[in-house]
Structure 1
């Protein structure tokens, strides 16, 4: 990314964060699909190593509980829920300690390690997006039984839907495994993924969704793990990988525009997380961050999930000074900054 582009990102972010916060609206629930950026603990209940239900994860969550969120605290969707006047955290659908009455105001079907490509979910042995949509159908039926059909339909129609997914398709699957690269060029794979994203939006709309925020990819070449594995320039961002994210975001934006034109009553808003995180990485001191290249967990170079648990004694003291909590996932403070952008801008467009 050029200095001019970074400067534009900086100006954009300042403008976004200077906007007044979105007022709490009549949104009855927030319903979430996606990967580890939105998993509130569903992976705790499936057979996979992709878990975050142990220290140091969750150390800054209310009560210091490792809920299964892949961060030191809350996620973007938790902050958005709170801004809507809903509970301050969105529960995981597979957590049986929550009743359907509690899930009626918000639920996450997300699963850490999954992707738009079903192969990505199989690699990590996690919940594919197709199964998340099946759980959503099951959830609708439970709502109808508990609340009655009219109330359930109103919740489903008026809820805010959030999709946060796609990163793993590149960082777990395409960049590191041969199967998809043997079949698709990068451009073809990007088109395939965007097609899967559009199909998921269509399926959700058919089930009653009207208000959807779909998050774009972050600069994935600047994740600590990507810096570590950048053989050409160790410790530096992998600009080629980040440009793949740019291409995906561009195609996703175009697809969203077509969906809004084609589907009656649908409002889908593309959320530009790339510019937000790029601005943070370019001007970290402005936000009070000290470290942008390492995660707080362990050495910060490669640890994520179970590896964070193995290196707990090396974990940093102040996660708020780190952009990333592990080598892939943002810290709670970074998530809050991203959430502020959504609250101040995207919500106004979708509600």
Structure 2
């Protein structure tokens, strides 16, 4: 079973859990866990002996050896504390039933659940929890389309346009609108501040990974961008930008009109690398993401003369007109599959909350725009039968998380992990020790953990629309 690394990452322990028998295992790995599980093993001794793998009795002996090593590294008291406060996972029965016996998975599961409850009653100082992985896996395999598991949906590349929700470092060479400094990137691979407005990966990366395209998406202006990066997509989105030209000029960042020009430059470079026919195919089969409206509403309408030009509903309608025009321009350049993001839940950001709760007024305003955007995308879809334009609602899951943080495993939704309700300044020490307990990384942007939940929700609901 390969979900142990995901559990460790979700709990903020480590990204990858090494096997105890890994040749180059480091002492530091002992402090935050290792794996003893062995493929083909089972609780029945016959199972491991039949398949010639590490038996569970031997796994137990290895655990005893591990304790001795941990004690040497950390001392007896800390070693005992590490083990007592750890999460111990056990997966058995699959091979026992499948190899040593051949039927009755749920019969075993029901008996196991009862056995665990009985053992819990004997040990009040312990927590023994039954993890039911049978039911969700049965649901997924029985209804693959509902969970976005469609084998015929593949994307050759990914591109992102718009604002900081998708920015992977386009503003890094500017004086404003950039965040390529610590503590940003604290939990990104290599602990590097890449220009992402997050502690780690953002939706561009997470969607690319979920679709099997690449682990991280480089910004188009990344200094050491490689030719091979061009083949699977790059990011053009820039923090602080918006579909209203006034937004980017006010904040001094890469405008969306400039992002479009960079995309044209990219196409020329891609054609040089891959040839015209392949370049066209890559773009046509890619996923194009766009996020706009957040800064337009939060900056251009809130603090500029736009209020004198438009009522708020009229401004939202104008934003949608600009957005659909931008999408038409991308369509004309060969793009055919689009994921258009709603705004975030603007009233739930730490900078916009009211007495510890999401601002209803701000969220109603955001949803006014989102509803018009959704209708605009549907209208554009009706004009282009050879394209797929899909509305990605990130507002709803983020609103749910920020309104019910404990339900999703968070402890704090009122403050950003870095800076609280203010700015996350370069090299600041005003940063929480564990970002995975916070909904927001800074006063405006979610943490990677929050993004993971949001992206999973969005893809589960929309991926089948691309078939």
Give how far 1:60 is off.
0.3
Give how far 1:234 is off.
4.4
Where does residue 158 of structure 1 map in the other structure? Answer: 285
Question: Separation in 2 of the partners of 1:164 and 1:178?
Answer: 21
Where does residue 301 of structure 1 map in the other structure? Answer: 421
Where does residue 87 of structure 2 map in the other structure? Answer: none
Give how far 1:172 is off.
1.8
Give how far 1:266 is off.
1.4
Q: What is the 5 A alignment of 1:216-295?
A: 216-227=342-353, 233-295=354-416
Q: What is the 5 A alignment of 1:1-351?
A: 19-22=146-149, 25-45=153-173, 47-175=174-302, 177-227=303-353, 233-298=354-419, 300-303=420-423, 307-309=424-426, 312-351=428-467
CA deviations 1:263-295 (Å, max 9, x no partner) are 241110001111111111232112100101110
Question: Separation in 2 of the partners of 1:22 and 1:224?
Answer: 35
Question: Separation in 1 of the partners of 2:351 and 2:407?
Answer: 24
CA deviations 1:250-274 (Å, max 9, x no partner) are 1011111110111241110001111
Where does residue 230 of structure 1 map in the other structure? Answer: none
CA deviations 1:65-118 (Å, max 9, x no partner) are 000000000011111111121211111000121123212202100000000100
Please state whether the residue corresponding to 1:308 is helix, strand or coil. coil
Please list every run of 5 or more consecutive structure 2 residues that lacks an aligned counterpart in the other structure: 1-139
Question: Separation in 2 of the partners of 1:253 and 1:22?
Answer: 24
Question: Separation in 2 of the partners of 1:262 and 1:26?
Answer: 24
Give how far 1:21 is off.
4.9
Give how far 1:165 is off.
1.6
Question: Separation in 1 of the partners of 2:260 and 2:176?
Answer: 23
CA deviations 1:8-47 (Å, max 9, x no partner) are xxxxxxx9xx9535357431101111101111011102x2
Contact 1:35–1:111 (CA under 8 A) maintained in structure 2: yes
* Greater mean deviation of Cα atoms: 47-56 or 210-219: 47-56
Question: Separation in 1 of the partners of 2:460 and 2:429?
Answer: 38
Q: Which has the larger Rg? A: 2
CA deviations 1:156-186 (Å, max 9, x no partner) are 11111111121001112211x2311111110
Q: TM-score scaled to structure 1, two decimals?
A: 0.88
Question: Separation in 1 of the partners of 2:272 and 2:436?
Answer: 43
Question: Separation in 2 of the partners of 1:164 and 1:110?
Answer: 8
Contact 1:143–1:152 (CA under 8 A) maintained in structure 2: yes
Higher relative contact order (CA 8 A, sep 6+): 1
Q: TM-score scaled to structure 2, two decimals?
A: 0.67
Question: Separation in 1 of the partners of 2:408 and 2:429?
Answer: 27
Contact 1:22–1:343 (CA under 8 A) maintained in structure 2: no
Give how far 1:235 is off.
4.1
Question: Separation in 2 of the partners of 1:264 and 1:235?
Answer: 46
Q: CA RMSD in A?
A: 1.8
Question: Separation in 1 of the partners of 2:178 and 2:402?
Answer: 27
Contact 2:148–2:459 (CA under 8 A) maintained in structure 1: yes
Please list every run of 5 or more consecutive structure 1 residues that lacks an aligned counterpart in the other structure: 1-14, 228-232
